Structure 1
Amino acid sequence: MNREPVSRELFDEVMVPNYAPGNIIPVRGEGSRVWDQDGREFVDLQGGIAVTSLGHCHPGLVGVLQEQSEKIWHLSNVMTNEPALRLAKTLCDQTFAERVFFANSGAEANEAAFKLARRYAWEHYGPEKHEIISFTNSFHGRTLFTVSVGGQAKYLEGFEPAPGGIHHAEFNNLDSVKALISKEKTCAVVVEPIQGEGGVMPADPDFLKGLRQLCDDNNALLVFDEVQSGVGRTGYLYAYEMYGVVPDILTSAKGLGGGFPVAAMLTTAKAAKSLGVGTHGSTYGGNALACAVAQKVIDTVSQPDILKGVKARSEKLRKGMMDIGERHGVFSEVRGAGLLLGCVLTEQWQGKAKDFLSAGLDEGVMVLMAGANVIRLAPSLIIPESDIEEALARFEAAVIKLTA
């Protein structure tokens, strides 16, 4: 079928203007390389914002997608399906979880987690115990509930009144949580082990251990939002393993489908009982096509050599960016874990992250921002070392031009 060519300008004519996409339109990807409409090549360190966990058009994912597409795509939730059951069992076998709920996005997984936390407390302790503690600079999605739990006021502006019973403590400050938590009112503490949109800020191990103890002492559920940090991103299947702190609920999305929309909420059997028949649902959640793809992703990413390779690639990328930062005076530190890294701009370059992103595109490398002061990197977990070297060379060329 022949279609008329499209341009970036068409976006402004037909799309709701909530995004401001760059001027290029990628049309093809393979591994960690992407090509635009003009055939121009880019090394991809964005990973679709930590989504394309195995790169573009991974042969294994393409094969599973094609195979399942010829069987069955979707069923109503009046029935279950084989791929969903297999994926749920795999996730339970490989994590702390005993029960799984499938959705389509990180926001939906978090919505389910927050609803479960409130429902659980309502059933076990009564309606007064409904308050949720989250953290400043956190991000949990764009639904009204999740954006209210998120700790960035700019995403809530103009959408008030927000759901009540939500408080925000200071990330990595346990005393600020102690000042808010209550056995009578707090139903859950919600935290990202590594704040993604908040600047790629890792939690201190003692902070997460302290949250676990506070939740236990106050009969509250501990919720880990691993939408961005999960599925091998840190060199562990999920980051809670790296910290040695087990939550009651964990949310997963982004890399779970390797680019195909799928999400999961993982929890214990005890907590899961509170979402009985009819209390929550998702029309597309757990569809056979998405679950078949996610199964292949988990089977691949969970292999020890893949997880070990994430740590090795992390060191190479981290050192390369730090070296660039030192040579040109642009980064004060590179933080994060695995292949979720944040390069913090020096005082001279504060507020200029978008300039570095644009300069990178001009030189053929795709990077991300995490706020105006941090360059975020979230490439494929299996990006070849040669692509890392090429990306670093291209990014340094961009830095040289920008700082000249």
Structure 2
Amino acid sequence: MSSLFQTYSRWDIDIKKAKGTMAEDENGKTYLDFIQGIAVSNLGHCHEAVTEAVKQQLDSVWHVSNLFQNALQEEAADQLAAHSNGDLVFFCNSGAEANEGAIKLARKATGKTKIVTFLRSFHGRTYAGMAATGQDKIKTGFGPMLEGFHYLPYNDPSAFETLKDEEGIAAVMLETIQGEGGVNPANTDFLEAVQTFCSDKQALLIIDEIQTGIGRTGKGFAYEHFGLSPDIITVAKGLGNGFPVGAVIGKKTLADAFTPGSHGTTFGGNMLAMAAVNATLQIVFQPEFLQEAAEKGEYLLALLQAELNGPFVKQIRGKGLMVGIECDGPVSHIISELQTLGLLVLPAGPNVIRLLPPLTVSKDELSSAVGKLKQAIAQHTAVNR
């Protein structure tokens, strides 16, 4: 009997070793890993530069306190500010913690309390994160949620009409591509309506880049595809290439809201995390690297469209190397079959297969993965005719 709380429905796979795109289980079976910790190891498992940076820091100092100066934090913050439209950074430990900080920052900066979010969104499992999430199943059994959240349909520009007379709106919070909600990219009309609504209500725009950021979509941040100007950006997952770390990025106009004593963290921004972040960002934010990731994403989407053209596949969507394959029925059995074939993928809801390969994946590996997908889907449809 396990001593762990059973908060996860775990697969019967125990990964013991991983490098780049490949992972190996306790039995020596190898897999193409198109999960990468759920869009975490964007440079692939055990990337040499990140590994070396953390090793060097291990022999120096791990952790002191945020009461001290931290040159590694300054370097990481400079990189994030230089490659986003933000100016100031707060480091924490996870995506949920980053979103929690963003909500606190928006409320304190505006003096207002209401936050607009969207159905099928996912913003974490803390109380503010759950309250912001537009999925009831995340909240079941936990009692009253944090008040002040309004949930609108995603990709529906007209939905803002329902809030045209609402006062006290501090911010609109959204993912430009919903990850857990099915890999749903926002459309242009919808995002224009978001920006207009924020302007009309003098509300802040919070973009949750936890899953989409740090090169995942072929740009440093996914909001760049859409010409948005967020006031607050949250990042985590790919930020440390596997080391637990998150960040809130904000415009300098918000500086007075986060002053000494207003927000804090014991472990956030510790030296080991910052060593991993700096090594990761120095690679990911190179223009050539991002361009190559974008090209691989286009290659993957084109290949999927060409090969998975049967009636069971309803839609293939995404940007860069964040792809969802919506199917005409549950995909859990297909995901299990893919594990047998040596490919690790995720669901994004019951009917969507989600692909999140590392940005360092090769075109040969992408082709191999598509071949396995084609085989597994063909087997599934043959059995279920």
Using structure 1 for the length normalisation, give the TM-score.
0.92
2:376 counterpart of 1:386: no
Q: Select 1:100's aligned residue among 83, 89, 102.
A: 89
Seq. identity, %: 38
CA distance in 2, matches of 1:323, 1:18: 38
Unaligned runs of 5+ in 1: 1-11, 123-128
2:328 counterpart of 1:339: no
1:66 shift after superposition: 0.7
**Amino acid in the other structure paired with 1:84:** Q
1:1-400 alignment to 2 at 5 Å?
Answer: 13-122=2-111, 129-181=112-164, 184-326=167-309, 328-346=310-328, 350=329, 352-400=330-378
CA contact (8 A) 2:95 2:210 kept: yes
1:400 shift after superposition: 2.9
Aligned to 1:6: none
CA distance in 1, matches of 2:344, 2:311: 21
CA contact (8 A) 1:88 1:99 kept: yes
1:24 shift after superposition: 1.0
1:316 shift after superposition: 2.2
Q: Which moved more, 1:304-313 or 1:105-114?
A: 304-313
CA contact (8 A) 2:315 2:325 kept: yes
1:319 shift after superposition: 2.4
Q: The residue matched to 2:23 in structure 1 has which SS?
A: strand
Q: The residue matched to 2:306 in structure 1 has which SS?
A: helix
Give per-residue Cα distances to partners, 1:120-177, cap 9 Å, x unaligned. 122xxxxxx3111100000000001111110000000101211111110111112212
Q: Which moved more, 1:392-401 or 1:82-91?
A: 392-401
Give per-residue Cα distances to partners, 1:68-117, cap 9 Å, x unaligned. 11111111111131111100011111211111000111000000000111
Q: The residue matched to 1:344 in structure 2 has which SS?
A: strand
**Amino acid in the other structure paired with 1:321:** L
Using structure 2 for the length normalisation, give the TM-score.
0.96
1:284 shift after superposition: 0.8
Unaligned runs of 5+ in 2: none
CA distance in 1, matches of 2:308, 2:327: 8
Q: The residue matched to 1:375 in structure 2 has which SS?
A: strand
Q: Which moved more, 1:169-178 or 1:103-112?
A: 169-178
CA distance in 2, matches of 1:398, 1:304: 36
1:282 shift after superposition: 1.1
CA distance in 2, matches of 1:356, 1:324: 16
CA contact (8 A) 2:308 2:374 kept: no
Aligned to 1:8: none
CA distance in 2, matches of 1:245, 1:318: 24
CA distance in 2, matches of 1:318, 1:93: 30
Q: The residue matched to 1:179 in structure 2 has which SS?
A: helix
CA distance in 1, matches of 2:201, 2:369: 48
Give per-residue Cα distances to partners, 1:37-64, cap 9 Å, x unaligned. 0100100111211111000111111111
CA distance in 2, matches of 1:246, 1:264: 18
CA distance in 1, matches of 2:28, 2:373: 20
CA contact (8 A) 2:16 2:24 kept: yes
CA distance in 2, matches of 1:368, 1:236: 22
CA distance in 2, matches of 1:330, 1:43: 23
**Amino acid in the other structure paired with 2:254:** A
Aligned length: 382
Q: The residue matched to 1:28 in structure 2 has which SS?
A: strand
Distance 1:181 1:230, change over 3 A: farther
**Amino acid in the other structure paired with 1:394:** K
CA distance in 2, matches of 1:399, 1:34: 23
Q: The residue matched to 1:14 in structure 2 has which SS?
A: coil
1:183 shift after superposition: 6.4
CA distance in 2, matches of 1:264, 1:82: 16
CA distance in 2, matches of 1:257, 1:100: 15
**Amino acid in the other structure paired with 2:341:** E
- Structure 1 outlier segments of 4+, above 3 Å: none
Distance 1:333 1:218, change over 3 A: same
**Amino acid in the other structure paired with 2:324:** G
